[in-house]
Structure 1
Amino acid sequence: MFRSSAPVTPSTSRRRVVFVAVGAAIAALLAALVTAMVSGAFAAAVAPLTRSVPFSPSAEDGLIAAGEMVTLADDDVPAIARLNPALREAMQDAETDAAVEALSFQITSGWRSPEYQEWLLQEAVDLYGSEEVARQFVATPERSTHVTGDGIDIGPIDAQFWLIEHGSRFGICQTYANERWHFELATVPGGVCPEMRADAAS
């Protein structure tokens, strides 16, 4: 059998151990880097799914669905329950008088959460293609009286006109010239309503 004439010395043996150890360390480092890159790519791919779930307003945000019949007596509806109590009481007194003329108030919007208000604003921006125009019809959460519980929208049209004519007897006023359905407690009972603002942006 052929045998190498070069003997394996202790120093040669130590060098081999060092080379093996360094090689193992480099392999482990490369494996860690690959794992980190794969994990990062996966996280980046999944992040949009977890961070950009679209907001969808619910009754807890003050949503009153189209066609839903809501009145001032609906204490279990957040849009009504979270109204300013003074506004709600004044509206109830007004509705009692309006009932003499066979009129009733249908509430189409009352209190809203800030998130719902922001969502409405963004929907208006999409509709009108301009934030400047959208804000004429939908106030920002910071300016909205719906968010504070001090604004209420009612229907039908005959009830709106009744409130426009008689609401000041209860301190209730139309506050935006471009929204005949929106009312606030803006004067004292029997007082004079302030001049209407042109729109929600003014």
Structure 2
Amino acid sequence: MSTTVASSRRTAISVLVALGLAGIAMASLGATGSLPFTFKPVTGQALAVLEEVPGPETGPKCPLDQRYVDEKPVGLRPDVLDAWNTLRAKAKQQNVELCVNDSKRSRAQQQREFDSAVKRFGTAELAKRYVLTPETSMHVKGIAVDIQPLASAAWVEKNGGKLGWCRRYDNEKWHFEYDPAYATAGCPALLPSATGS
């Protein structure tokens, strides 16, 4: 065998081994939850990965209302997290505290939420008025937060639009979604519910 063929074969094997090791490293890091996910607007890539990233199941009690928690907004898309931090800082400047009762959910977390709502309301159609399926939830996409208590949510509804945060559903005074276009175009009209009806 010539040295050129042997060298090419070694290079190809080295590349394949390196790719295999990189894949194993990514899988193990993802399994431990310590893989840093970044948003890259490439169709079919980062969003699919982000949708599997779980958010916190709970958090410490909201100091303003013990019925709610104040989750860390872990797993939100990086631009959304930056926008959330800006919103929270702006609220704090005006002596308003915002508790994140719920933010990022994975597809599995959203499915559990939906299944629980079906049990509570009796049918999938009724449940969809308050909890969307994993395929349609903005919590799964990492762009939504549920803010409590309602006085804090009311402050966000009044002031958040200038920062890209808008309430989306008439029957959910706590649910806000981030879109940078809202800051310039204004908030869209409220939908009656998450299903639009």
Specify the TM-score bucket, using the shorter chain as the normaliser. 0.5 to 0.7
Give the corresponding residue for 2:192. Answer: 198
Q: Which structure features the higher share of helix residues?
A: 1
Please give the TM-score of this superposition, normalised by the length of structure 1.
Answer: 0.62
Distance 1:197 1:119 in 2: 24
Distance 2:193 2:162 in 1: 24
8 Å contact kept, 2:164–2:182: yes
Give the corresponding residue for 2:58. Answer: 64
- Length, aligned pairs only: 137
Q: Deviations over 1:34-76 (max 9, x none)?
A: xxxxxxxxxxxxxxxxxxxxxxxxxx553115836535xx4xx
Distance 1:108 1:102 in 2: 19
Distance 1:167 1:113 in 2: 25
8 Å contact kept, 1:175–1:196: yes
Is 1:127 the equivalent of 2:116? no
Distance 1:116 1:190 in 2: 33
Rg: which structure is higher?
A: 1
Distance 1:143 1:131 in 2: 14
Give the corresponding residue for 2:160. Answer: 167
Q: Deviations over 1:117-169 (max 9, x none)?
A: 11111111111111110000000000001111111111122210110001111
One-letter amino acid of the structure 2 residue matched with residue 70 of structure 1: D
Distance 1:62 1:197 in 2: 27
Distance 1:162 1:152 in 2: 14
- Cα distance change on mapping 1:81 and 1:65 into 2, 3 Å: closer
Q: Offset at 1:191? A: 3.3
Distance 2:131 2:188 in 1: 20
Is 1:114 the equivalent of 2:118? no
Please give the TM-score of this superposition, normalised by the length of structure 2.
Answer: 0.63
Distance 2:122 2:135 in 1: 22
* Unmatched runs of 5 consecutive residues or more in structure 2: 1-53, 63-68
- Cα distance change on mapping 1:99 and 1:66 into 2, 3 Å: closer
8 Å contact kept, 1:174–1:196: yes
Alignment of 1:17-166 (within 5 A): 62-64=56-58, 67=61, 69-70=69-70, 74=72, 80-166=73-159
One-letter amino acid of the structure 2 residue matched with residue 95 of structure 1: R
Question: Percent of aligned pairs with the same residue?
Answer: 27
Distance 1:118 1:168 in 2: 29
* Unmatched runs of 5 consecutive residues or more in structure 1: 1-59, 75-79
